[in-house]
Structure 1
């Protein structure tokens, strides 16, 4: 996945299938449906008889593809800056390994004929997952006690599972130089697009809180690293948009953020609704709140410093930047 997203209501791929959303992702200009259909037929399905672009999510591109009696959900991830080809392949292979242990909630990518889970198609890496018959819960539905209990049980099972060999570890998203680099980067006007100056001015006005957040973040990172022997497999973004309620139970999709980490990495959307069900370390809760904020700020910076046209996606991204910058200092 490349590019940022907006809070947890949109970050990560909007992966619940057969849904409607208020955020529309623009069709990619750099690859067409025929190229996607050819790659899927060459690597996964025996033939492709139908393909449709899905304007879902905010960071990757998706298609519904059918052929040979099967229907699959196809994702095109642009790698940088979140992934390399190797790290994305490792995340998806790790999800498949977790599913193979018997974790029913893991909706893992399907292997290509080569045995790999990603295929290089030039502008990114293609992957395929089963098409699930189900729905993602709304934010309100995700807060209902019965659903919360199921999510907690699902994450507990994931966190208790021995990690697959080679599973990558979480690493901090920014370093100690982040605030000063941002100060230098925003010192002169940006001419990269119609929203560039609004973004630059907002960032420049928040250098001091960004420095404070970064200092605290790195302090907490050191504490987390000192406890690495207790880290567990974490999904990374198990919010409601990455949950699918099927006739056979809850499934978690979009495993590109899979990593070894403190379990609190998966708790952000549960802390206010799962009282008594979770017993998190407050320091780790704070760490991953800052991890979210600073990684979003970094990605929005890249977004608006680069060429853009002022599309609906760009305006949504600008709102997301303002939201992250408005957070109170921890």
Structure 2
């Protein structure tokens, strides 16, 4: 997130990091990276040592499922998947209204573009690894009645902030399409539930890759799930109904989250701007099409 959370302070984070992972920590700095969770760098004498994450709980994560995902990622790393950059134990600790976790700091940078061969190799190894015990299993993220739920929300005036009316108007205009997407999604999700699952990262694109001296790492394992491989392979333009289903899942989940966001009070800051742009992109982008096979 671009802006620090308003409900916790850096001192709160520092105290928890000292008590849980690194007693010598003398500074934590909020980082303007990612979107959805908050992150800090924890430093000792000016040297960054930990990457600290605050995940929220709710429809996407319970305390048990989030902890299980981080624990499973650590197991995958211990079993030889060197590209899995896993969290430290304890994998999570209660903090504010969510869970705090920490991973070792690694210097690196995000790739400018997706390296298909590198990504394909990592995913093939991940998908071929037996799933660790207790790994969370994928389940549909949005209900079949999403359009009805939104219709109910939209019957009231949204005036919580500068982007409320814009979001309200866009969602109202796209309700028929949202209903169509949700129906198709659940038809395909029923088929996905009958398929064998493999360990999947969930979002293995460039935003969760880090180029380091150790090679390319996959980071942010909160979305680790036992699921059809297409959950990951869609970033490589994999085709077929399952790729379409996970594309619909991303779209509908984004729409659902942003609808809740803009029905509530907001100030119009950098995070709000990115959120409203994300909502409009998901509502207006073309429907999924079978990718053209590469030669």
- Give the TM-score band, short-chain normalised: over 0.9
Alignment: residue pair count: 287
Residues of 1 paired with 2:78 and 2:287: CA distance? 42
Residue 204 in 1 paired to residue 164 in 2? no
Per-residue Cα deviation, 1:224-272 (whole angstroms, up to 9, x for no partner): 1121xx210000011101111111211100000000111110123221x
Tell me the equivalent position of 1:312.
270
Give the one of 87, 95, 110 matched to 1:121: 95
Residues of 1 paired with 2:192 and 2:32: CA distance? 37
Q: How far does residue 194 in structure 1 lie from its aligned partner after superposition?
A: 1.9
Q: How far does residue 42 in structure 1 lie from its aligned partner after superposition?
A: 0.5
Per-residue Cα deviation, 1:106-147 (whole angstroms, up to 9, x for no partner): 000011xxxx300112232110001112211023xx2xxxx3
Q: How far does residue 70 in structure 1 lie from its aligned partner after superposition?
A: 7.0
Residues of 1 paired with 2:10 and 2:97: CA distance? 14
Residue 29 in 1 paired to residue 6 in 2? yes
Q: Tell me, which stretches of 5 or more residues in structure 2 are unaligned? A: 289-295
- Residues 8 and 96, structure 2, Cα contact 8 Å, conserved in 1: no
Per-residue Cα deviation, 1:199-221 (whole angstroms, up to 9, x for no partner): 11110111111111111101100
Residues of 1 paired with 2:39 and 2:190: CA distance? 37
| TM-score when normalising by structure 2 | 0.93
Residues of 2 paired with 1:52 and 1:325: CA distance? 35
Give the one of 149, 167, 177 matched to 1:181: 149
Q: Where do residues 102-121 of structure 1 align in structure 2 (5 Å cutoff)? A: 102-111=80-89, 116-121=90-95
Q: How far does residue 177 in structure 1 lie from its aligned partner after superposition?
A: 1.2
Q: Secondary structure at the match of 2:234?
A: coil
Residues of 1 paired with 2:30 and 2:158: CA distance? 33
Q: Secondary structure at the match of 1:268?
A: helix
- Residues 30 and 123, structure 1, Cα contact 8 Å, conserved in 2: no
Q: Tell me, which stretches of 5 or more residues in structure 1 are unaligned? A: 1-23, 272-279
Residues of 2 paired with 1:54 and 1:221: CA distance? 36
Residues of 2 paired with 1:110 and 1:318: CA distance? 34
Residue 100 in 1 paired to residue 66 in 2? no
Residues of 1 paired with 2:51 and 2:42: CA distance? 7
Per-residue Cα deviation, 1:166-197 (whole angstroms, up to 9, x for no partner): 11111111122111121121123212222111
- Residues 105 and 250, structure 1, Cα contact 8 Å, conserved in 2: yes
Residue 87 in 1 paired to residue 65 in 2? yes
Residues of 1 paired with 2:74 and 2:264: CA distance? 35
| TM-score when normalising by structure 1 | 0.83
Tell me the equivalent position of 1:21.
none
Tell me the equivalent position of 1:260.
226
- Residues 60 and 141, structure 2, Cα contact 8 Å, conserved in 1: no
Residues of 2 paired with 1:50 and 1:204: CA distance? 46
Q: Where do residues 159-198 of structure 1 align in structure 2 (5 Å cutoff)? A: 159-198=127-166
Q: How far does residue 298 in structure 1 lie from its aligned partner after superposition?
A: 0.4
Residues of 2 paired with 1:43 and 1:160: CA distance? 34
Give the one of 189, 194, 203 matched to 1:221: 189
Tell me the equivalent position of 1:240.
206
